Amino acid sequence: MRSFIAASAAATVIAALSIGGSPARAQEHVTIGIVSATTGPFAAPGKFELNGFNLAAEEINGHGGFEVGGKHYLVDLKIYDVHASAAEGASAMQRLTTVDSVPVVLGELSSAAAAAEAPIAQDNQVPLILTVPTGPELTAQKNPYVFRVNANSNQLAKSLADFVGKQGWSPLSFIAWNNDAGRGGVNGMRESLPPNIKLGYVGYFNVGDVDFSSHVTNIRSSGAKAVMLLMDEEPGSLAIAQLRAADVPVQIIGTLAMGSDRFLKRLDAARLAGMVQYNAFPPNAPLPRIKAFSDRYKAKFGEEAHGFAAQSYDGLFVAIEAMKQAKTVTDGPKIRGALAHLTYDGVIGRIKFDAEGQADPPVYVTQWCDDGRRRILYPADMAAGCGAG
């Protein structure tokens, strides 16, 4: 089986997971480890990540599970709330791979936490499939047990830098997290920007900071034409509100976390109008695979689909497909080998890992319209009007 999901997602899921046209009766259970955040400052992105995992597990189990070696398995998720903490992530990873004896671990939100978990995955020969962290070093270290479904910050930066270069937004300023993700994002953009775009003010903030006034003043003084906010929903909404209140005449550039209906509820259409952001999954894109997933997601959770959810949904199906191809639900090295050679057509696009375990899914740039909808600006062959982003 090439994939659980092709362009006609829902129908293919049923066909792939059913036996003889009706749900198979699962005889066994396989537990998959999940590291994420359900509480604390990363609970918002953690919710999207867990929604993706839970929706995938529900669909797999709802169609009778999956078959390996003549046995049918249901999926159980063993979820640890690690608060995006390196110490808690390492502790949970150790427990998942020894005490819980899971064959695969998925998730994580923080690059620092993922970096702490990765050596434990290798030591205990249990694949770690990342679905949200973007730090390039996570796969660049060539740990054979680490795989990443989502684009890393260098891949995101390359697409965004190409777009920014074509707009001529120079100088370009930044407000970024004072951590590996923020600094890595700035460095990735710096290395990817074309010569016509110069860097302006670069400021960093710590998790929990709520006052961006000094950054706003410095951006105004720098004469920046655009400012990129390398942060998630909560600080992003605060920074945008403060930039708009100060009437700083800059183009605002956000991250994936700032391109959803959920983010619109934190602000309003007037303050978001014209802002652009890179996006791994425009939920209203006119593609069958995206539309099918978005419809199922909204029916389940009552809200617009999110890129973190789509990436995590695909991540669980990738893990299941690897176990099917490896013909085992317990042998970590064999599952790792299957992952290394797997090609999977998911809702975010084709997933195929390179020699370092990094996938190369599509990256988009979307823009907020005056009415609170979004449009797709990049890539050019996917450009679409308000309501498609």
pLDDT digits (tens, 9 = 90+) for 112-156: 999 999 999 999 999 999 999 988 999 999 999 999 999 998 899
CATH superfamily of 154-279+364-382: Response regulator (3.40.50.2300)
Residue identified by tokens 């620092």 is 112
- Single out the residue of 258, 293, 235, 292 nearest to residue 366, CA to CA: 258
pLDDT digits (tens, 9 = 90+) for 217-241: 999 999 999 999 999 889 999 999 9
Instruction: State the pLDDT at residue 280.
Output: 86
DSSP 19-47: ETTEE----EEEEEEEEE-SSSTTHHHHH
CATH superfamily of 9-151+286-352: Response regulator (3.40.50.2300)
Name the pTM for this structure: 0.84
Q: How do 199-205 and 172-177 pair as beta strands? A: parallel
Task: Please give the Cα distance from 135 to 339 (Å, whole number).
Answer: 20
Q: For residue 77, list its beta bridge partners.
A: 32
DSSP 125-163: T--EEESS---THHHHT--TTEEE-S--HHHHHHHHHHH
Task: Please give the Cα distance from 157 to 151 (Å, whole number).
Answer: 10
Instruction: State the pLDDT at residue 348.
Output: 96
- Single out the residue of 163, 158, 157, 211 nearest to residue 186, CA to CA: 157
Instruction: State the pLDDT at residue 261.
Output: 87
| Numbered ranges of CATH 3.40.50.2300 in the chain | 9-151+286-352, 154-279+364-382
Give the chain's residues under pLDDT 50: 1-24, 26
